[in-house]
Structure 1
Amino acid sequence: MAWACSSGSNRGLVANLARARIISDERVVSAMRAVDRAHFSPHSPYEDAPQPIGHGATISAPHMHGYALEHLREHLRPGMRALDVGSGSGYLTACMAAMVGARGRVVGVDHIPELVEGARAALEQHYPDWVRDQRVRFVVGDGRQGHAADAPYDCIHVGAASPEPPAALLAQLGAPGRMFVPVGTALQQVIVYDKDSSGNVTQQPVMDVAYIPLTDPDRQRSG
């Protein structure tokens, strides 16, 4: 797996990700330039490594966010609807919102209320237009169950590892639609699930990873 070097600025970080060929699509590059990671990550925002954000949670390494956006890019076009499970800091949710535009909708769901409030506050401070046009919404909930109220989604990103294929999330995926999710316990792989217009689902393993698990709030906080 290619890793990008650390940088002293958001623009430098994005340039490093592009140089390492982790991101190449212009819309992905533009979104990651538009959303400054420092607005969402209090510690070493431009280092290409996971960083703690409190409550037993982390913000994923920038290269993983880059991979996710690249794999989901065809389902993050203007006007589309997306779900970010385990939205945490809200950074990737915001990048997804940059890609779907003012007519699109992105829902970030997390089971830690303090993280949801922090993500909402960061968005209101730095991207207030996106709040006013309801492009982005953060909700408190069990991400393992998705967010059925706004389903179906053109794409779903899952930011923590599911021990098995997430049936509830697949049910909320549109037809067509795509989901990017780490699956497994001791050994984890990112799996891309594609649902065609007839509702048939196929899957493709993408890479080996090590994510925190999808779990209950108390277990996450104590972990």
Structure 2
Amino acid sequence: MGGAVSSGRDNNELVDNLVNGHYIRTRKVENVFRALDRADYMTPEARDQAYKDLAWRNGPLHLSSPCIYSEVMEGLELRTGLSFLNVGSGTGYLSTMAGLIIGSTGISHGVENNPAVVEYAVKKLCQFIEKCAALDDFDFCEPKFYCGNGLCLAPLQSGYDRVYCGAACPPDYENYFKNLIKVGGVLVFPLNDTLQQVKRVSEDKWVSRELLNVSFATLHMPHRDLPPDSVRLGQLTLLLSVDSDHEMIPFFFNDNNGRDEQDIQLMVIDTLCPLQCRSGFSKKPKILSGTTIALVTLRQDVKSHLPSNFTSYGALETETQ
């Protein structure tokens, strides 16, 4: 699908047309579309096609039409601090736009089946970080790309706030995708030739609405010899602080690496020291002085039982051991 709006002479004119056509409806989505020049994610010989409202393909590389990406970005209802999973992340174009909205307290994971496409996405991300002048205007969540089949994700300790699938969902996998989002989360994916927005309203209830008629290639089915949990994503880890006048209260739960509460307390560190943890993490959070922090992996159902003097500063990512 494409051709819903007129072609632009450059990226800004293309965005103007998407706004005038009501495909882009919010300022935050408009801002990230302007920050990323679509041509930068295409091969050099295809740059003259970049500002047309058409899908682009070159071998395994693919970009959906701008009107579809606009509907996806609006339908995801992204905001600061959310976790985002992009299944079929391709060139990384959409993951990078999402990262400009969810910011450095968010998490952005992309899963792509083709190793060459993952390499291309990493290259384009590096070029964006190095050359994009507009990046100074954003608090950016750098996407992390994983190579593997998105239908073979290892069980998640916690669902994602937002999930997008960039290829048509096989009918038998509808519930698989719905269960990737946590309660309150949003899934946008192509199903039965429609782009659908699905919201999880309880553990066993979802509500959906159709956004757009689309035609997507179907996700590659995993090879029968491929383990169903062959793709392991980074953990979603909360950064918590406790006022320095209080003692650290013991944690009475385990994370998925089997650490007990005593082991977790050994990870408590002082902000006057370098912010490090044996698990490691990719982003340096902004912490108020005079606090003590701990890196703890929590299930969603225990967050509500935290002591009242704990404050969540957002999510960090730790490597799966």
TM-score (norm 2): 0.60
The gaps in structure 2 that reach 5 residues or longer are 224-321
Q: Does 1:194 align with 2:199?
A: yes
The letter of the residue matching 2:127 is Q
Aligned residues of 2:183 and 2:202 also touching (Cα < 8 A): yes
**How many angstroms apart in 1 are the aligned matches of 2:204 and 2:31?**
32
Residues matched between the structures, number: 210
Label 1:138 to 1:50 Cα distance change in 2 as closer, same or farther (>3 A). same
Q: Which structure has greater helix proportion?
A: 1
Residues 72-221 of structure 1 aligned to structure 2 (within 5 Å): 72-73=76-77, 76-128=78-130, 135-146=142-153, 148=155, 151-164=158-171, 165-184=173-192, 188-216=193-221
Higher Rg: 2
Residues 45-56 of structure 1 aligned to structure 2 (within 5 Å): 45-55=50-60
The letter of the residue matching 2:162 is C
Q: Secondary structure at the match of 1:205?
A: strand
**How large is the RMSD of aligned CA atoms in angstroms?**
2.4
Label 1:197 to 1:34 Cα distance change in 2 as closer, same or farther (>3 A). farther
1:32 corresponds to which residue? Answer: 33
Aligned residues of 2:88 and 2:112 also touching (Cα < 8 A): yes
Aligned residues of 1:103 and 1:135 also touching (Cα < 8 A): no
1:221 corresponds to which residue? Answer: none
Instruction: Give % identity.
Output: 27
Q: Cα offset for 1:215?
A: 1.2
1:19 corresponds to which residue? Answer: 20
Q: Cα offset for 1:83?
A: 0.7
- Runs of 4+ in structure 1 off by over 3 angstroms are 145-151
Aligned residues of 1:85 and 1:146 also touching (Cα < 8 A): no
Residue deviations 1:15-42, cap 9 Å, x none? 1100111111001001111122112122
Aligned residues of 2:81 and 2:106 also touching (Cα < 8 A): yes
**How many angstroms apart in 2 are the aligned matches of 1:183 and 1:209?**
9
Out of 11-20 and 158-167, give the one that drifted further: 158-167
The gaps in structure 1 that reach 5 residues or longer are 219-223
Q: Secondary structure at the match of 2:212?
A: strand
Q: Secondary structure at the match of 2:179?
A: helix
